Amino acid sequence: MSIASVRNLDGQLKRCSINTATLGHREPLRITVDRIARAGFGAIAPWRSEVEAGDVHALSRQIRDAGLSVSGYCRSTYLPALDPEERRANIEANKRALQDAAVLGARCFVMVVGGIPVGSRDLEGARAQVRDGVAELLAVAQDVGVPLALEPLHPVYAANRSVLNSLGQALQWCEALDPHGTGFLGVAIDAYHCWWDPDLGPQIAAAGQARRILAYHVCDWLHDTRDVLLDRGMMGDGVIDLPGLRGQVEAAGYVGPVEVEIFSKDNWWKKDVDDVLSVCAHRLQTVC
Amino acid sequence: MSIASVRNLDGQLKRCSINTATLGHREPLRITVDRIARAGFGAIAPWRSEVEAGDVHALSRQIRDAGLSVSGYCRSTYLPALDPEERRANIEANKRALQDAAVLGARCFVMVVGGIPVGSRDLEGARAQVRDGVAELLAVAQDVGVPLALEPLHPVYAANRSVLNSLGQALQWCEALDPHGTGFLGVAIDAYHCWWDPDLGPQIAAAGQARRILAYHVCDWLHDTRDVLLDRGMMGDGVIDLPGLRGQVEAAGYVGPVEVEIFSKDNWWKKDVDDVLSVCAHRLQTVC
């Protein structure tokens, strides 16, 4: 039976990962690690703020000892800036984060590239700055052995979070910056960001063909989203055909972790952390 | 001097139109018409709710007598529905609206096509329903002499307002449904919905080449948008390179109205109506 024909993730919890943002960052990472492992998941995706608040080597050991792999390290410092010194500082911050990603043994470093600098209207200029920054970081990524996963964000974030807004655009950048496919530049496909794209199916196939799919993130888009940043839905509560999407991603050859990433200030972040993990486990195994 | 080289709309207010939503629908249309004409604009884009609340023939006469043209009639009843009878009713409502559009002498009937029906996850099914509906309405549009302007909406509305989300997608539908270019099926390009699109430039050129550009709408995308439906910005207050965008639209051959459409519940809709018109006039002539 091919992976693509598996109808849901029943019994595959070890393949599933929890992005710690899903739990609202309410506890130190060392506690979160244990909760995620105890709930049966096989991987975790921590954030820099919580890793940098502790000792990365100790956290890395703890994660490994708990039986977890690191599906991705979240996330890059935004790259574009009007001030060249600030731009340089952003790149350097990402280089340091890549070192930590290597210590953590992360499958990839998740690149949320940043928006248009405040006061600017130069979208193409910001995109050029990002490409230049990624080109520089790619060399470091190879050195430390952690691939860069360009994550196209939903176009609603084009102004203030990411000028990279579609999978097709991400793949064009990958081809331009890494034409020979070193394995150190690829994409993170997040259902929330990409589900609407009329060109998504062909682009997923192209991403697979080019061996660029480094991560796959799930949550759901609620029909009447109240807040586009912090009102993401639990899988099954929204409009995304998640089994169909995973089928496309796996038909394209992806066999890596399925990572849950839910920002939900007024709902899931208010619920008991273990309950949230339990619901994630259930939904992953029934509706994803 | 080519139109594309005009650097702003200074002195071209007669070419500019006010979509009545910009004023927050706080007064009856008959009053709004006079305000817009008195402020020096050459066109208006009224909404069905306000037209249908009055006598369409009388309103049409008033608009003409005020020296205004109708840059577009807003807007279609959403097409997709799970219930076939509801779907049929949606199409029939649009046929009736097209009759009114003809009475108004509208340059186009603006098609906001609708989202995924509540309870469904079938994005492609909803898109197919829209295409079927547009095909049926195209025959009526030709009969009454009012072109259908497919308006791609920002992907943030894909779930609940429009499954048509990029100019490229709209053009594909135009070619499929109206391959010979009758002149009765085209697109409305709205800066707010399209500005982020990495493929926008080539698609605008393609739209012009195919003579499909029926309308051009402006407002601005605020860097930190608080509400994606009702927090649109006044031209000049956000991140969109409006002169650059208009340059592309005009280089593609568009010489029609530039229509201002701003939904702004907490800001512009709270200001004095004549002041809003005055600011629109100023911004159109300085930053668009």
3-class secondary-structure state, position A80: coil
B228 part of contact set with chain A, CB < 8 Å: yes
Other Cβ atoms within 10 Å of A218 Cβ, number? 29
Give the Cβ contact number of residue A41 at 10 Å.
Answer: 27
CA distances from B62 to B68, B70, B257 (A): 9, 12, 20
Predicted TM-score (pTM) of the model is 0.96
Size of interface A-B (CB pairs under 8 A): 87
pLDDT in tens, B180-218: 999 999 999 999 999 999 999 999 999 999 999 999 999
Closest alpha carbon within chain A to B160: A223
Number of domains making up chain B: 1
pLDDT, one tens digit per residue, over A204-236 is 999 999 999 999 999 999 999 999 999 999 999
> What is the rounded radius of gyration, in angstroms, for the C-alpha atoms of chain B?
18
Residue where the block lists tokens 């009114």 = B100
What six digits make up the tokens of A42? 């096989």
pLDDT at A263 over 60: yes
ipTM comes to 0.96
Q: pLDDT value at position B8?
A: 77
Which residues span the domain enclosing B179? 3-287
C-alpha of B112 from chain center? 8
SS3 content of chain A, % helix, strand, coil (to 5): 45, 15, 40
CB B241: neighbour CB atoms within 10 A?
Answer: 17
Query: Which residues between 190 and 209 in chain A have a beta carbon less than 8 angstroms from any beta carbon of chain B?
Result: 195-199
Query: Which ranges of chain B have pLDDT less than 50?
Result: 1-5
Both tokens of B7, joined, read 């650097």
- Asked if the Cβ–Cβ distance from A196 to B158 is below 8 Å, we say yes
> Element (H or E) spanning A259, and its range?
strand A258-260
DSSP chain B: --GGG--S-TT-GGGEEEEGGGGTS-S-HHHHHHHHHHTT-SEEE-BHHHHHTS-HHHHHHHHHHTT-EES-EE-PPP---SSHHHHHHHHHHHHHHHHHHHHHT-S-EEE--B-PPTT---HHHHHHHHHHHHHHHHHHHHHHT--EEE-PPPGGGTTTTBS---HHHHHHHHHHH-TT--SSEEEEEEHHHHTT-TTHHHHHHHHHHTT-EEEEEE-B--TT-S-TTTBPBPTTSSS--HHHHHHHHHHTT--S-EEE---BTTTGGGS-HHHHHHHHHHHHHHH-
Token reading at A114: 């940043």
Name the residue among B168, B199, B239 with its Cβ closest to that of A121.
Answer: B239
Res. A181 pLDDT band, cuts 50 70 90 = very high
Look at residues A242, A151, A243, A165 and name the one whose alpha carbon lies nearest to residue A199: A165
Mean pLDDT of A137-141: 98
Cis peptide before B75 (omega within 30 of 0): yes
Q: Is the peptide bond before A88 cis (omega within 30 degrees of 0)?
A: no
The pLDDT score that the predictor gives to residue A8 is: 77
B179: how many CB neighbours lie within 10 A of its CB? 9
Distance CA B210, CA B260 (A): 24
- Give CA–CA dist B37/A4, Å, rounded: 61
How many CA atoms, within 13 angstroms, populate the side-chain half-sphere of residue B58?
Answer: 9
**pLDDT for res A1:** 37
Residue A73 and residue A48 in contact, taking contact as beta carbons nearer than 8 Å: yes
8-state DSSP, A114: B
Provide the pLDDT confidence category of residue A143 given band limits of 50, 70 and 90.
very high
Chain B window 53-112: which residues touch A at a Cβ cutoff of 8 Å? none
Of the partner residues A122, A127, A239, the one whose CB lies closest to the CB of residue B159: A239
| CB neighbours of residue B182 within 10 Å | 13
Residue B173: phi and psi, rounded to 5, are -65, -40
Q: What is the CATH number of the domain that holds B222?
A: 3.20.20.150
Angstroms from A254 CA to nearest CA on chain B: 23
pLDDT mean over A68-97:
98
Residues of A in contact with B195 (CB under 8 A): 123, 158
The arithmetic mean of pLDDT across residues A36-56, rounded, is 97
The pLDDT value recorded for residue B6 is 52
Best of A82, A118, A131, A196 to mutate (most B CBs within 10 Å, chain B):
A196
Instruction: Report pLDDT digits (tens) over A1-43.
Output: 344 445 679 999 999 999 999 999 999 999 999 999 999 999 9
How many angstroms away from the CA of A66 is the closest CA of chain B? 37
